[in-house]
Structure 1
Amino acid sequence: LFEQFQRVANAYFLFLLILQLIPQISSLSWFTTIVPLVLVLTITAVKDASDDLVIQKEKWMNVRVGDIIKMEDNQFVAADLLLLSSSEPHGLCYIETAELDGETNLKARQALPITSELGDNIGLLAQFNGDIVCEPPNNKLDRFAGSLHWNGDSLPLDNESMLLRGCILRNTDWCFGLVLFAGPDTKLMQNSGRTKFKRTSIDRLMNTLVLWIFGFLVCMGSILGLGNAVWESITGYYFQSVDSAVFSGFLTFWSYIIILNTVVPISLYVSVEVIRLGHSYFINWDRKMYYAKRDTPAEARTTTLNEELGQIEYIFSDKTGTLTQNIMTFNKCSINCRIYGGWCLGSFSDLRTTDAGFLFYDYSLLEVVRRGDRSVHEFFRVLSLCHTVMIEDKAKGELQYQAQSPDEGALVTAARNFGFVFQSRTPETISVQELGETCTYRLLAILDFNNYRKRMSVIVRNAEGKLKLYCKGADSVIFERLHPCCQHMMNITGDHLSEFATEGLRTLCLATRDLDDEMVSEWLLRLRKVGMVLEGREAELAAVYNEIEQDMILLGATAIEDKLQEAVPETIAKLAMANIKLWVLTGDKQETAVNIGYSCNMLTDDMSEVFVVSGSSAQDVREELRIVFWQAHALEADLELDFLEVACLCKAVICCRVTPLQKAQVVELVKTCKKAVTLAIGDGANDVSMIKTSHIGVGISGQEGMQAVLASDYTFGQFRFLQRLLLVHGRWSYLRMCKFLCYFFYKNFAFTLVHFWFGFFCGFSAQTVYDQWFITLFNICYTSLPVLAMGVFDQDVSDQWSIDCPKLYEPGQLNLLFNKREFFICIAQGIYTSIVIFFVPYAAFVEAMRDDGSGLSDHQSLAVTVSTSLIIVVSLQMGLDTGYWTAINHFFIWGSVAVYFAIMFAMYSAGLYSIFPSQFQFIGTARNTLNQPAVWLVIFLTTVICVVPIVAFRFLKAELRPSLNDRVSSKHATPSPPSECFIQNSMESIKKKLSLIHICNTRR
């Protein structure tokens, strides 16, 4: 409840409720505010509760830190545990982490050798008295730092020996674990906190407008309060004694604040939430965004950003797995300055260990392998040893690899097909069958890959006792760590890499180094010492790794093909026609990124100029920017602004060799400096930072796990669905929300300002025109459902036309449908309507007579006439604003009018009056008033004066100055889209000629 009143509007209405409880200033009953307030809080509470139930939590009340607990197969892990022992050899166990990161593939965890010996011996486990020093509780699921001190030994602990709460034990009969964190200290609970709340531009504008309306409300209250003070001082003493006209005016001010508060209706915010919820369901139910191959539907993971999808100006996209399939196939390689692959056809059917799905074949390379070429054998040893692949199953004698990334799977499969078959691994060994002979390597250290190191290494001892370091990684990090003797080979291999990249292939370099025992022994001691560090362990590990990854010998390079996803070029073309700029942020080489740019139609042959900025220092980059930008004097002194100035003039931007942090920095730069609505889309963990930084984050459920999906606002299975998300759902959501807000403010000003005009005719006494029940029910029963139906279902053109006519998307980018100007137009129309529905009946009733000759000009008859006119006028206006009629719209609009008359006749009946005489005082008024023909004539006249000018204006505007939307809507019934949608407007001819900026190797 406290959180609900953090919203300014709810606190404001609570303040009004308190004022209504003061008899001296309130002319309305308390229920006129408390009923809507309770309804709003209840609906919001139900919505929040449903959101919270998405993540179900279960408590294990009896688990305490320091306990040793036994877990069995298929059981949820109850706390964050240090794995002590398991039923599997070498202390291994397998877990599923879908509840943590959404990934369904099994992961291996390994107990320390010193604790795995405990087995399932309860006596030994009970005697375990080790001391564990570790980091404090945090939300980092992939990292853990600690140390175990037991029996005089000190051993480092990392994430590989941890079982986190929420995991499920799989394919393991049992395991024992020591509880390190329980309850709220577990990483699962540490991740359950709220992420940074994203707000739409319409939300921010609404907050500003509500403040303006409140100021307008204060002005109206001040005018009426001042009028009361003047009236009391001049006329009031004829009716009652007045102690202080000023005090009376002060009380009247607060009374009118209560009466006129409906200009900011309490139902506004809950209506917005209901509409957004409906839009989210439409996204979830859209079968055209369903990816059948992976059984992946589209999902709106948030309900608060839908209309922002209709205002996107910049899209920031990852390449691998987002634009491409992330299904890797080994295509080419370079070994000893020679390229293999790409032109030969054949099969490996003569090798029993081959993978039937392997498509690479080069007979010359196979012959070199068979001849025993040392460099070629070392090349494939790197592929078969330097990885983290697990053997998932050996059913029917077939090896099944389970890789954490498609790249690793492709490389290990390539080695397998050339006779170097990875067969098994233990915590201390790796077994590889090399051309039919099984070789077991002792594994001394694994130097892990991460997005900042961009490389992975292993240190092994072969059967001959020699120590070797095998390394694979990006050429940018491998080349700078090679021995000087490799310069010639490095130059040739660099040329090969550029050739591979121009074909759009993903490349890696392979290297090796011979080590001696003394060096490795000293290095392992330093590694173990660093492993005991808690603060800054990662930085110190990186430094230790770097010590030994030097003076390596280059073996060659691999080239892996990653094909584009279906319909990516068409999608990018449609988004470009909608004036949405696409920037690709990738860690790939420049040539690879440019080639993909041409493949997916980001870059086209008719672009007038394509240029590359690739300076290695800030000054170099600035000079290159000044060269390509002929208005060099217009550049700012800051390099980021130089980059932004040039990049925003281009139709397409590709940034290569970027880190995850740099991706987020690019997004933040455009978001902050351009004040543009941004969207980031990606599929991997390295995209999470930019997804969280952008206004809208989209995650693609692909080959690299679920981290991007879990951090996103929207998710689906393929990049091509982005055009439907933006051009259909986004545009419709923006259109519906804008029409809803315009109508909502209009009808409430028309409803409320009648009291303002009446104040000048009732001695500024804070008397209301309407019955208090009409005031209570106007926004709850009479007008709520029709405007909700329009906000949920309305559309101007069909979904297909929205895609075929991308230009229809531009009004959202330009913020044309709801802005301050449109707001004031709605307010002006509301004021005009309030004047007509009050003054026309008031003027008509002055001399009007009933059929029996009695006067018609009583307050209750005026109230019924004005309220009936208001309901009819706003209902007709709703009909004019509705662009897409459904049975629901008809039912709600005309049903609400019927409900009004039914409730009015029921509440003004003698039955309710006899039960609640103080609450239902308009007994018989409805029947007596609406039986008079003059009243219906007044209602008809009022309706005509209110509605006809609006109809005439809209007709003339559509005929004389039609918008593209009007033209498309008028031709909606024709079989083909109108040609205007594909004609560039005159502004296109004066757009900048610059076409692409490709930023790489930029160092700030």
Structure 2
Amino acid sequence: VLADKPEPNTRPFLLNYKAESPDESALVAAARDVGFPFVNKTKEFLEIEVMGQAERYVPLKVLEFNSTRKRMSVIARTPLGKIILYCKGADSVIYERLADDCDPAIKEKTMKDMEAFANGGLRTLCIAYRYLSEEDYLQWSRVYDAATSSVQDRDEEMDKATALVEHSLHILGATALEDKLQEGVPDAIETLHKAGIKLWILTGDKVQTAIEIAFSCNLLKTDMDVMILSADTVDSARTQIEAGLNKIASVLGPPSWDPRKRGFLPNAKASFAVVIDGDTLRHALSPELKTLFLNLGTQCETVVCCRVSPAQKALTVKLVKEGRNAMTLSIGDGANDVAMIQEANIGCGLFGHEGSQAAMSADYAFGQFRFLTKLLLVHGRWSYRRIADMHSNFFYKNVIWTFAMFWFLPWNSFDATYLYEYTFILLYNLAFTSLPVIALGAFDQDINAKAAMAFPQLYIRGIRGLEYTRSKFWLYMIDGLYQSVVVYFVPYLVWTIGDALSWDGKGIDSLSDFGTTVSVAAIFAANIYVGINTHYWTVITWVIVVGSSLIMVLWIVIYSFFPTYDFNDEVIVLFGNVIFWATVILSVVLALAPRFLVKFFTSTYMPSDSDIVREMWVKGDLKDRLGIKHRRDRKYSGGLETAPMFSKPHVRSASEISSYLEEGYQPAMTTSPGEHGSPPGAEKYVDVSVVNSPYGEYAGEDTRYGVTSDETLRGDETYLSPDPPTPHQLSPGQLALSTSPRPGSYYSASDIPLPSPLPTAVYRHPSDAYPPSPTTPGMNSLRPPPNSYEMRVRSAPQSPPYSPQPRSPYAEDAMSPGRPPESHAHHFSGVTETSYVTAHSAGDGAEQDHQWGEQYQQEEPGDKWRGSTYSYAGPRAL
């Protein structure tokens, strides 16, 4: 841990810390806040303050933490010259190394406290100490130095050396740290559950902490039957695992023999979860029990493994990956997760406070856990479907091409003569048909991204492998075989039934003419077939599908003028002949008709889930329900409400509005959600003006009022306006706030444990932004003069009697489209969290309605305008 030295002029008592682990930083910061700050660290010593008195400790040895030891120790020399060892780690590890004469009452009390912390979802650590004599330390130091310099088995020798000194400890206390969940983690995990993904959590926390965290992030639910496995021996672990399997079988029945369907029980009304600690997991991963444990874990909806080491995390992932031949994904944010991330099929790392080791070793890296849902449900699902469709279409287009040549062999005595012109064979997969299939595999989207996020159940088809099956593959092959028959025999029948004549009366019955007709029909059919299977058409898709066919036509035109023997003037002979075009069109229609009809009847009478969602997207109201505008409605609007910064209730200043709109102040009407049920009590504001002093900042009491834009005014808080200061004379009754340190230590300068008196600056409208309101005379007199530096201190809320006052109804011809509040009454005795003002006009001037605030806009006579609903916190009646 390193301490950043504070700036002596601006913040002389503000200490910040940088550490390898956020846990270390949190512990040192907590010690600072209670009056024991860590001030400085050098090569020779480290300095702390104990209730304002500086103390220096000399570090002698640091025994680093690792996943095997599950503890960390430091040996230091105290200011009194004694040698002391401090050890922190898991409670199970520390309690094993306590001295025999350790106070049992302290042990019991500390254990109860840690259990209470763990039940609250906090990460606990136990801290112990022991004193060492000079002789014991010197003797141990020689052993430890020899272990660190050993060449063979260095880690084992160091562990043995540390065990020689980490014993006979006495409990010093315990700590509890809150590892806050990131935004959106519970919703993301709930979405993954709906998608049919099995979730295993592998953590180093103790059992109680892991269970509470699992409940808080929706990994465990109240309707789950949670089975906790804790065993000391292999036989005990076997007994508990078999009992869990029997319990599940009695409710859900035996698992499916199909590995793709294991764990998918749509008719099951019960769900199970397993919680297992590190010692039991070590037995469960043994060769004789790992199969039983895998069967138990895969039949449960969630598995929570506690107190596991990085090696156990990797072994667990390997067990699932190889035992079920499943696609595994590991996600983590710490160095302990690197082995697990690298072992999985897909590794995801999070950039966090614990470093970037996990992100650097992963296949995908992002900032927050909630982004995993889009990676899987959108991009992962798209990728799987694209690859499945691309493979099927790629094999199909080669079947139709090669089998058309095969049908020619019986009529050619199976010799080596080509049906197609040789350049067509070279360019078929290179330029004529490959790009449409590639575009299908790169850009196709069966449903929109937001629709995929709204219906995570669509992901289950991918887990079960229903998008790329053997039956689907062979159906494509049969379809390609049928189309090869059509594109060959239709031209063959046309050529054999009657004489095919060209524009000059000559026959077009040469092999080059016939082969070109078959090849053109096959290429058109292959490209159109890919277009039928495409769901999402973009400009690139149109250009590629149409352009590939045009390239084929262009090549016929260009190559016809080459000095070749059999292809000379082919474009003139074929393209000017109606029989050629009729044959090609008839062949393509007959080839694609079955596929088109099957696709139509399947989507109409036997639609899949994606077909239903796609129809809702195209023809239904799914876009409106998801808040997506149709393309025809995506027109630029110059209104203020279209700006992203105005997506929430806000206050607009006159300068902001005038700078944005050329025609001046033209607010748009929004919908008012109405009043809250019961208004709170009135609260008093006291304005004080701040002046600078050699000893700090002092503020004088004043009785002026202003309007701030903070929407969460609760409790005793201080609000500071950004106006420049105006000097005032101090009086004996004025309030003094000192932000400069007094001479002395960090403890005395920071006034610990008192809270900091520093005010929080928030935005406030200038006092002259709006003229006085005609409906509330005298309100402007309560505002402070311009260019004043104000600090508003709010006292505790009061509760005067509630007395609503009726207001005049709106004119019928002046009613705005916005919904007015539910109750037509002014409440000047209190304020809700959000205040609303609505202004209306139907002729000369404007009629305004005020509710706990003030908003005014002058209008030219005759102008008709509509007001808007705004949200801000205004002054309250005292």
TM-score (norm 2): 0.64
User: 5 Å matches for 1:373-384?
Assistant: none
**Structure 2 match to 1:796:** 446
Give the CA deviation at 1:800.
Answer: 0.7
For residues 978 and 888 of structure 1, what CA distance do their matches in structure 2 show? 27
Question: 1:549 corresponds to which letter in structure 2?
Answer: E
For residues 749 and 628 of structure 1, what CA distance do their matches in structure 2 show? 52
**Structure 2 match to 1:235:** none
Give the CA deviation at 1:746.
Answer: 0.5
Higher relative contact order (CA 8 A, sep 6+): 1
Q: Are 2:144 and 1:527 equivalent residues in the alignment?
A: yes
For residues 297 and 121 of structure 2, what CA distance do their matches in structure 1 show? 23
Identity %: 39
| Partner residue of 1:866 out of 518, 521, 526 | 518
**Structure 1 match to 2:303:** 653
For residues 953 and 976 of structure 1, what CA distance do their matches in structure 2 show? 26
Of 414-423 and 874-883, deviating more is: 414-423
Q: Are 2:391 and 1:741 equivalent residues in the alignment?
A: yes
**Structure 2 match to 1:823:** 473
Q: Summarize deviations over 1:580-602 as a string: whole Å, max 9, x none.
A: 01111100010101001110111
1:491 aligned counterpart, secondary structure: helix
User: 5 Å matches for 1:582-593?
Assistant: 582-593=199-210
Q: Are 2:129 and 1:512 equivalent residues in the alignment?
A: yes
Contact 1:590 1:656 in 2 (8 A): yes
Q: Summarize deviations over 1:27-76 as a string: whole Å, max 9, x none.
A: xxxxxxxxxxxxxxxxxxxxxxxxxxxxxxxxxxxxxxxxxxxxxxxxxx
**Structure 2 match to 1:811:** 461
**Structure 1 match to 2:184:** 567
1:540 aligned counterpart, secondary structure: helix
**Structure 2 match to 1:196:** none
For residues 804 and 458 of structure 1, what CA distance do their matches in structure 2 show? 52
Question: 1:458 corresponds to which letter in structure 2?
Answer: V
Q: Summarize deviations over 1:618-665 as a string: whole Å, max 9, x none.
A: 222222223333269999993112211212111111110100000011
**Structure 2 match to 1:929:** 574
**Structure 1 match to 2:359:** 709
Q: Are 2:70 and 1:454 equivalent residues in the alignment?
A: yes
Q: Are 2:536 and 1:536 equivalent residues in the alignment?
A: no
For residues 248 and 332 of structure 2, what CA distance do their matches in structure 1 show? 34
Q: Summarize deviations over 1:455-512 as a string: whole Å, max 9, x none.
A: 1111111122211111111111111001123333222211211110111001111111
Contact 1:511 1:553 in 2 (8 A): yes
2:164 aligned counterpart, secondary structure: helix
| Partner residue of 2:7 out of 389, 395, 400 | 395
Q: Summarize deviations over 1:264-296 as a string: whole Å, max 9, x none.
A: xxxxxxxxxxxxxxxxxxxxxxxxxxxxxxxxx
**Structure 1 match to 2:706:** none
**Structure 1 match to 2:61:** 445
Of 708-717 and 430-439, deviating more is: 430-439
**Structure 2 match to 1:724:** 374
**Structure 1 match to 2:118:** 501
TM-score (norm 1): 0.57
**Structure 1 match to 2:91:** 475
Q: Summarize deviations over 1:898-938 as a string: whole Å, max 9, x none.
A: 221111111111xx32xxx4xx7411112202222112221
User: 5 Å matches for 1:286-435?
Assistant: 389-396=1-8, 397=12, 398-435=14-51
For residues 810 and 658 of structure 1, what CA distance do their matches in structure 2 show? 30
**Structure 2 match to 1:855:** 507
Runs of 4+ with >6 A deviation: 631-637
1:484 aligned counterpart, secondary structure: coil
Contact 2:529 2:592 in 1 (8 A): yes
**Structure 1 match to 2:492:** 842
Q: Summarize deviations over 1:513-565 as a string: whole Å, max 9, x none.
A: 01111111101111122222122111111111111010000011001111111
1:420 aligned counterpart, secondary structure: coil
Contact 1:392 1:400 in 2 (8 A): yes
User: 5 Å matches for 1:176-325?
Assistant: none
For residues 891 and 449 of structure 1, what CA distance do their matches in structure 2 show? 60
Contact 2:512 2:566 in 1 (8 A): no
Count of aligned residue pairs for this structure pair: 583
1:761 aligned counterpart, secondary structure: helix
Q: Are 2:330 and 1:680 equivalent residues in the alignment?
A: yes
Contact 2:110 2:174 in 1 (8 A): yes
Question: 1:506 corresponds to which letter in structure 2?
Answer: R
Question: 2:545 corresponds to which letter in structure 1?
Answer: I
1:432 aligned counterpart, secondary structure: strand
Give the CA deviation at 1:895.
Answer: 1.7
| Partner residue of 1:465 out of 72, 76, 81 | 81
1:485 aligned counterpart, secondary structure: coil
2:46 aligned counterpart, secondary structure: strand
**Structure 1 match to 2:165:** 548
Work out which of the two has the higher radius of gyration on C-alpha atoms and give 1 or 2. 2
Give the CA deviation at 1:819.
Answer: 2.8
Question: 1:559 corresponds to which letter in structure 2?
Answer: A
Q: For residues 411 and 631 of structure 1, do their structure 2 counterparts lie closer, same or farther at Cα, with a shift above 3 Å needed? A: closer
For residues 592 and 452 of structure 1, what CA distance do their matches in structure 2 show? 20
Q: For residues 632 and 837 of structure 1, do their structure 2 counterparts lie closer, same or farther at Cα, with a shift above 3 Å needed? A: closer
**Structure 2 match to 1:257:** none
Q: Are 2:600 and 1:966 equivalent residues in the alignment?
A: no
Contact 2:245 2:296 in 1 (8 A): yes
**Structure 2 match to 1:975:** 621
Q: For residues 644 and 521 of structure 1, do their structure 2 counterparts lie closer, same or farther at Cα, with a shift above 3 Å needed? A: same
Give the CA deviation at 1:978.
Answer: 12
Q: For residues 953 and 614 of structure 1, do their structure 2 counterparts lie closer, same or farther at Cα, with a shift above 3 Å needed? A: same
**Structure 1 match to 2:240:** 624
Contact 1:804 1:977 in 2 (8 A): no
2:487 aligned counterpart, secondary structure: helix
Contact 1:428 1:444 in 2 (8 A): no
Contact 1:971 1:978 in 2 (8 A): no
Q: Summarize deviations over 1:803-847 as a string: whole Å, max 9, x none.
A: 111111112111122232222221111111111111111121123
Question: 1:848 corresponds to which letter in structure 2?
Answer: D
**Structure 2 match to 1:600:** 217
For residues 406 and 593 of structure 1, what CA distance do their matches in structure 2 show? 18
Question: 2:360 corresponds to which letter in structure 1?
Answer: L
Contact 1:770 1:864 in 2 (8 A): yes
For residues 393 and 823 of structure 1, what CA distance do their matches in structure 2 show? 68
Q: Are 2:585 and 1:945 equivalent residues in the alignment?
A: no
For residues 115 and 624 of structure 2, what CA distance do their matches in structure 1 show? 45
Contact 1:743 1:878 in 2 (8 A): yes
Q: For residues 978 and 819 of structure 1, do their structure 2 counterparts lie closer, same or farther at Cα, with a shift above 3 Å needed? A: farther
For residues 695 and 542 of structure 1, what CA distance do their matches in structure 2 show? 33
For residues 216 and 624 of structure 2, what CA distance do their matches in structure 1 show? 29
2:411 aligned counterpart, secondary structure: coil
Contact 2:556 2:570 in 1 (8 A): no
Q: Summarize deviations over 1:60-117 as a string: whole Å, max 9, x none.
A: xxxxxxxxxxxxxxxxxxxxxxxxxxxxxxxxxxxxxxxxxxxxxxxxxxxxxxxxxx
Question: 1:404 corresponds to which letter in structure 2?
Answer: E
Q: Are 2:578 and 1:899 equivalent residues in the alignment?
A: no
Q: Which runs of 5+ in 1 are unaligned?
A: 1-388, 980-1004
For residues 462 and 661 of structure 1, what CA distance do their matches in structure 2 show? 37
Of 540-549 and 485-494, deviating more is: 485-494
1:891 aligned counterpart, secondary structure: helix
For residues 530 and 248 of structure 2, what CA distance do their matches in structure 1 show? 54
Q: For residues 484 and 632 of structure 1, do their structure 2 counterparts lie closer, same or farther at Cα, with a shift above 3 Å needed? A: farther
Give the CA deviation at 1:785.
Answer: 2.1
Q: Are 2:314 and 1:664 equivalent residues in the alignment?
A: yes
Contact 1:472 1:508 in 2 (8 A): yes
Q: For residues 683 and 613 of structure 1, do their structure 2 counterparts lie closer, same or farther at Cα, with a shift above 3 Å needed? A: same
1:431 aligned counterpart, secondary structure: strand
- RMSD value over aligned CA atoms? 2.0
Q: Which runs of 5+ in 2 are unaligned?
A: 256-283, 626-878
